[in-house]
Amino acid sequence: MAMMITSLWEFCVLSLLLSYVVELEASHHVYSNIQTSELTSTHHQTKEPYRTGYHFQPPKNWINGPLVYKKIYHLFYQYNPNGVVWGNIVWAHSTSTDLINWTPHDDAIYPSQSFDINGCWSGSATILPGGKPAIFYTGINPQNEQAQNLAFPKNLSDPFLKEWVKIPQNPLMKATRANHINATSFRDPTTAWLGSDNRWRLIVGSQKDQTGLAILYRSKDFLNWTKANHPLHSAKKTGMWECPDFFPVSKNSPVGLDTSKNGPDVKHVLKVSLSKSFKEYYTIGTYNLKKDIYIPDKGSVESDTGLRYDYGKFYASKTFFDSAKNRRILWGWINESSSVDDDIKKGWSGLQAVPRTLVLDKSGKQLVQWPVVELEKLRIKQVKLPNIVLKGGSLHEVLGVTSAQADVEITFAISDLKKAEVFDPSWTDPQILCSKKGASVKGDLGPFGLLVLASKGLKENTALFYRIFKSQNNNNKYVVLMCSDQSRSSLNQDNDKTTYGAFVNVDLLHEKLSLRSLIDHSIVESFGGEGKACITARVYPTLAVDGDTHLYVFNYGNESVKIAGNAWSLKTAKIN
């Protein structure tokens, strides 16, 4: 798949556009007849109601996709300088001092050698001892074979790292019959980690007979790499593993850990992006350095019953360790819900989710995400939501904020949980359940939540809401369903209006039920249960744009719900 990188994070690139395709492989779609910059010029001539105010994207064309060096964040992302769809991929480069405002630079890595002449795909950055950055990336040769290449900054005294040099020994890791690797399924090297034996390790995503593989390599000098006899981890019937990410998390502290950290107080996370489903899954487990194997905890799997960072439009994600503030930060790619024709008209396609801090939940069974605190610098015009009881079937409009570009935090209190309807154990897929029980389907406790990017009269709206069920066998145990219903998000029938869902692990007897939504013209990122479940929506309303956008808190369930919270308008960030 097309891949992207960020210097301490990586982004693999994946095109979901469906017409005019020359298929290279499952996740690489080249639109050869529309790879021209002239086709992207229309965005200069028309109003852009869908262009985001604080989500990272370049001025035009197609992207998918940090490293921190001398207190400057570097974002390297996959970019097509010649069109709004996948192809002609280079590593574009922007820098920031706060992860919110970004300054563009010339492309950092672009096809120039035989080992990458057909594309510079995704990879990762590693900070070597002494603070020197290094980037591994996947290059595509004239035979369309994938191999792993290494580049270093040309001038370490330049804090902006504007120039990068590919080493003459490239490629350093190749797919051959001897090492039993398929050259068309061999990509996305991770950030490397240094073991207590002073040997470097990294993994590369691959597959064999539909078994997903995290192929392990080792090196003593960071230049000569040897493939291990076994993968770090694998899973049958999962297909190609793109954009793998492997990193430690602390069991006892909310701070982030350097990628090489290990020990009794550490758990490890392996995340994979599955090209056949365009979904990502992560597992939490134990890394045995002596055996060089990763063992997921019991019940932690890479399948539809597994854990995901985000249950909406979110793919090819990558974390990095922010050594400046001792935190691990997650970035992800938000792909399109509009048609290819509409992408061409607006002149751009794809962007980044807001950076999120990532920690291990106190239960040790999942990760928790939250937008980086720097985002709050954009908040203006705070509106305090009234502490009111929303009766069943009621709606409350939030006034005083810019509804197309806002940050909303709200909590819900239910007076009598025992009135919840009984949960059917056969409801194992939250997305299907949300599709069947959308915002218009009345329940006992729910649906209640937010209607965002809504038009007057609600012909268009995106509904973010909860439903609460009680366990069939335990009256003191409850199931919390979080939904993002896009079925009425736009009158444009060409858009993807999939409804998404997730179960949120919240103890309603001891925890508040909260919802935070970041609204940005055509994106809604929602964080349920203080970051225990996240859903990203990509919507293109036709009526609810700019000043005609409304924001509501609603309760369409039978029972009353008490609300409290705040909403802010958000300033526009300086992005490229």
Q: Residue 473: pLDDT above 90?
A: no
Burial of residue 505 (CB within 10 Å: 0-12, 13-18, 19+) is middle
pLDDT of residue 26: 34
**Residue pair 137/13 in contact by the 8 Å Cβ criterion:** no
Supply the pTM of this predicted model: 0.91
Report the mean per-residue pLDDT for the chain: 88
- pLDDT score, position 101: 97
Domain ranges of the chain: 2-371, 379-570
Residue-wise pLDDT tens digits, 172-202: 999 988 889 999 999 999 999 999 999 999 9
Label residue 84 by pLDDT band (50, 70, 90): low
- Which residues, including other chains, have CB under 8 Å from residue 149's CB and lie 6 or more apart? 115, 116, 136, 137, 138, 139, 166, 167, 170, 171, 172
Q: Which residues contact 353 (CB under 8 A, 6 or more apart)?
A: 55, 310, 314, 331, 332, 333, 334, 523, 525, 536
Tell me the pLDDT tens digit for each residue of 36-50.
333 333 333 345 788
Q: Which residues have CB under 8 Å from 438's CB, separation 6+?
A: 447, 463, 483, 485, 487, 499
If one counts every other C-beta atom within 10 angstroms of the C-beta of residue 55, the result is 19
Answer yes or no: CATH 2.60.120.560 is held by domain 379-570: yes
For residue range 331-380, what is the model confidence (pLDDT) as tens digits? 999 988 887 787 777 777 778 999 999 999 999 999 999 999 999 999 99
Contact of 280 with 335, CB cutoff 8 Å: no
Report the percentage of the chain scoring pLDDT > 70: 89
Q: Which CATH architecture has domain 2-371?
A: 5 Propeller (2.115)
Contact 448, 434 (CB under 8 A): no
Encoded tokens for 553? 């808190």
Contact partners, residue 38, CB within 8 Å, separation at least 6 = none
